[in-house]
Each structure stands twice: as structure tokens, then as C-alpha cells.
Amino acid sequence: MKQIKGGVTAAKGFKAASTAAGIKYKDRTDMAMIYSEVPCAVAGTFTTNIVKAAPVKWDQHVVYDSKKAQAVIVNAGIANACTGEEGMGYCKATAEKVNKLLQIPTDEVLVASTGVIGMQLPIDRICAGVETMVPQLNGDIESGHNAALAIMTTDTHEKEVAVEIELSGKTVTIGGMCKGSGMIHPNMCTMLSFVTTDAAISQELLLEALKADVEDTYNMISVDGDTSTNDTCLLLANGMAENTKITEKNADYETFTKALRFVNETLAKQMAGDGEGATALFEVKVIGAETKEQAKILSKSVITSSLTKAAIYGHDANWGRILCAMGYSGAQFDPEKVDLFFESAAGKMQIIKDGVAVDYSEEEATKILSEPAVTAIADIKMGAAQATAWGCDLTYDYVKINADYRS
């Protein structure tokens, strides 16, 4: 596997475009489009929130009924959630516009929205945006990059990744983009994430590969504990790499899923590290667990603890909060057996041995915790299972962004 430049346009046959449609933001792009020269097998995972945005319902129909797709239309600024029948109608109107311009069946057009809940989309501007983007569709790296910029809301930078692998003598590419950065506590899938590949693979296996990944990547990050109404992760495979089509769990499937995991984990970590107001990526590894599930519950409880997140912002080795968050997680363990370590580019040090503080240097710990990516490792000494979760620190800017998001 080789990491390469690019995002959603890295794989063969995928094009992208973006435009400033004036949905809600001024002076920036706010719509993006992904298009494949040929129809794709499509997999998707969606929010488990009972309150599901209209585009989520629309895309579920595309993924589970049509099972293929050829275009994705995304807008930032308005989420099209809690918008009733009117909101559903706008998904359809968007797909109809694409159908008219590109002759793609409406139920093979995916839509995704992110932004304020409860407002209706200005559908005229959405349709005008589609009209502007279609003639600009381009397969170069820059077009994919601009699409990643256009879907941002409170994100501070675009998020992309792409890799190449070899399958049955052919070069296969997987590339993706995603956006955060608030209301991030994916439960099934994350905010908006779009992954494209030119691999030839059956829709069943594509869905299975994506579902497995989502559990260990997007579902293991949290910015603020709020599971959005719009979480959507889409994976499109157009087969243009001309590899022998993957229809069973063979060596090619292994290679493909390993690369896909890298792409999804990279995007998930980018999202966590760019959480609203965040100054640091906070990684929590629980090792020595009896089961993976137990390690997941424990690590996720720590990255969602407001107190721990605030301590990370303060570069404060307040390990009691970490042990406390493990304690209320619901998972069983013996607090008096826990060893805890902090690690970053500045070094690694042990903080707790068997549940009690070792004689560590606070100064040294603060140095380790002052890096832009910080890891806490908790060894609960019960078995060989482990899990990792990713979050970020809690800062003044998180409050600032969210006290005044709509205005």
C-alpha cells in the first residue's frame, strides 16, 4: 500500500466540482459534487439518531434499494434536518436536476447536507449550484481538493487521503474526503465522509467492508458527545481499475480492506484532531483488555469526558479524571491494577502503576502533553484485547463556536 496525493478524484473515473451557491455562507464555496464516469456499487452507513435528516433517508433508499450510484451532491450551511415533507421534496428535486443534466436515474443520485438543523434549503440556489458544477466536473487532484474545502462548516482545514494498492496485477486506488467538526460522536457512522475507489468489488462485500471499518474508525471518535442527525459515510466503487472483481473474501479482499481501513482511520483522526475549537488530537488506547468491546467502552469514555478534555487543553496530567471516566464507563475492571502512560512526540512516561500515582515529574508530563497529538495508554492487565479512540481537547473556542453558531 502506498499513500498518494489526492482525495475523491484520485481513483480512476471520478470527477469533482464545487461552487459558491450562497446557501448560507458568503464569500466561500458551499456546494460540492462527486461524479463517476460509470455507475458505482455503493455502500453507506448512517446516523443512529432517531431524528434523521432528509438526505440520510434519501441515501438509505439509494444504498439499500438501488445499490448503485453515480453522483453525490453535497451542501454545507443547512442540514436539511427536521424539515418534514418539504425537506424530503428537496432531496428529490436535487436528484431530478442531476437526472436532467446527466441522465442519471434519480435513485442513483446521493445527496448530503450539513449545517443548521431546522431551516429549509433554498432549493433554487441548490439547483443553480448543480447547473454550475456539472460543466466544471474534472478528475484532477485540485478539483477533489476544492470539493473537500467546499463541504467544510466549522472545520479549520480540508480532510483528504488517498492510497494505491495492487490487485490481480492492476493498480487500484482508494481516496476520500470528510468534514467535521462539531456534533461529532458518530454512532454507526460519522458526519460526512465520502470515499471513492476504482476497485471492482461486489456491493455486498463493499457494504460489509465499510460496516466493519466504521465500527473501529468513525465510531471511535468524539468531539462533543453529540450524535448528529446527518452522519453519513458513503463508499463508491466504479470498477474502472479493471482488477478481477472481488466477490469473495480472498487475498484481494484482504488487501483492499486493509487499505480501506487506512483511508477511513486517517479521515477519522483528521476529523477528531480538527474538532471544534481543538488544539490537540487526543488518542486513548486501552490495552490488556479481556475483550475488544470492553476496551472500546473504556477508551471512548475517556475521550468523551469533558473534564479530561479540558485537562488536555491545559496540558495538565490530571490522570484522576482519566481513571474516573474509565470507572463510570459501564465496563468492568479493577482500578487497583491499572497502569497509565502518556505519550507524544516529546516522549513517553508512566503516570500510574497499579492504580496509584508513581513519582513522576509534572514538568516532564506537561512537556509531553503540550504536543499537538497526545496519547494516553491504559493497561488494565486482564487479557490481550485492545482498542483505540480519538478525540480532542475542550477549549474556549468550542464554547465560542457553539454559543453563536447560527448567527
Considering beta carbons, is residue 146 or 190 the nearer one to a copy of itself?
190
Q: Residues 43-72: x/- map of binding to a copy of itself (CB under 8 A)? A: ----xxxxxx--------------------
**Residues between 123 and 152 with contacts to a copy of itself, criterion CB under 8 A:** none
Q: Which is nearer to a copy of itself, 35 or 333 (CB)?
A: 333
Q: Shortest approach of a copy of itself to residue 50 CB, angstroms? A: 4
Least Cβ distance, residue 53 to a copy of itself (angstroms): 10
Nine-digit cell string for 320: 484522576
| Shortest CB 333 distance to a copy of itself, Å | 7
Task: Return the HEC string of the chain.
Answer: CEEECCCCCCCCCEEEEEECCCCCCCCCCCEEEEEEEEEEEEEEEECCCCCCCHHHHHHHHHHHHHCEEEEEEEEEEECCCCCHHHHHHHHHHHHHHHHHHHCCCHHHEEEEEEEECCCCCCHHHHHHHHHHHHHHCECCHHHHHHHHHHCCCCCCCCEEEEEEEEECCEEEEEEEEEECCCCCCCCCCCCEEEEEECCCECHHHHHHHHHHHHHHCHHHECCCCCCCCCCEEEEEECCCCCCCCECCCCHHHHHHHHHHHHHHHHHHHHHHHCCCCCCCEEEEEEEEECCHHHHHHHHHHHHHCHHHHHHHHCCCCCHHHHHHHHHCCCCCCCHHHCEEEEEECCEEEEEEECCEECCCCHHHHHHHHCCCEEEEEEECCCCCEEEEEEEECCCHHHHHHHHCCCC
Q: Does 117 bind a copy of itself (CB under 8 A)?
A: yes
Given the complex with a copy of itself, which of 132 and 156 has the nearer CB atom? 156
With respect to a copy of itself, which residue has the nearer C-beta, 267 or 312?
A: 312
Judged by CB under 8 A, the stretch of 97-105, 182-190, 265-273, 288-296 that binds a copy of itself is: 182-190
Binding of a copy of itself at residue 296 (CB under 8 A)?
Answer: no
Query: Does residue 190 carry a catalytic annotation?
Result: yes
* Amino acid at site 338: V
Using the rule CB under 8 A, is 382 a contact of a copy of itself?
no
Question: What distance in Å separates the CA atoms of residue 378 and residue 299, rounded to the nearest whole number?
Answer: 9
- CB nearer to a copy of itself: give 170 or 353: 353
**276 is an annotated ligand-binding site residue:** yes
Q: Which stretch binds a copy of itself (CB under 8 A): 132-140, 153-161, 288-296, 350-358?
A: 350-358
Q: Would the annotation count 179 as a binding residue?
A: yes
Residue 389 has, within 13 A of its CA and on its CB side, a CA count of 29
Q: Chain-centre distance of CA 186, in angstroms?
A: 8
Number of residues this chain uses to bind a copy of itself (CB under 8 A) = 64
Which of these is catalytic: 19, 47, 173, 190? 190
Interface with a copy of itself includes 359 (CB under 8 A)?
A: no
- Check the annotation: does 146 bind a ligand: no
Q: Does 376 bind a copy of itself (CB under 8 A)?
A: no
19 is in an annotated binding site: no
The footprint of a copy of itself on residues 319-348 (CB under 8 A) is: 319-321, 323-328, 332-333, 335-336
Minimum CB–partner distance for residue 51 and a copy of itself (Å): 3
183 binds a copy of itself (CB under 8 A): yes
Cβ atoms 34, 176 nearer than 8 A: no
Point out which span in 164-172, 212-220, 373-381, 391-399 binds a copy of itself (CB under 8 A): 391-399
- 190 a known binding residue? yes
| Sign, CA torsion 124/128/131/133 | negative
* Residue 79 and residue 53 in contact, taking contact as beta carbons nearer than 8 Å: yes
**381 marked among binding-site residues:** no
Site string for a copy of itself, 211-250 (x = CB under 8 A): -------------xxxxxx---------------------
Binding site for a copy of itself (CB under 8 A): 47-52, 79, 81-84, 116-118, 182-183, 185, 187, 224-229, 304-307, 310-311, 313-314, 316, 318-321, 323-328, 332-333, 335-336, 352, 355-357, 394-396, 398-407
Catalytic residues: 190
Residues placed in the known binding site: 153, 179, 190, 276, 402, 407
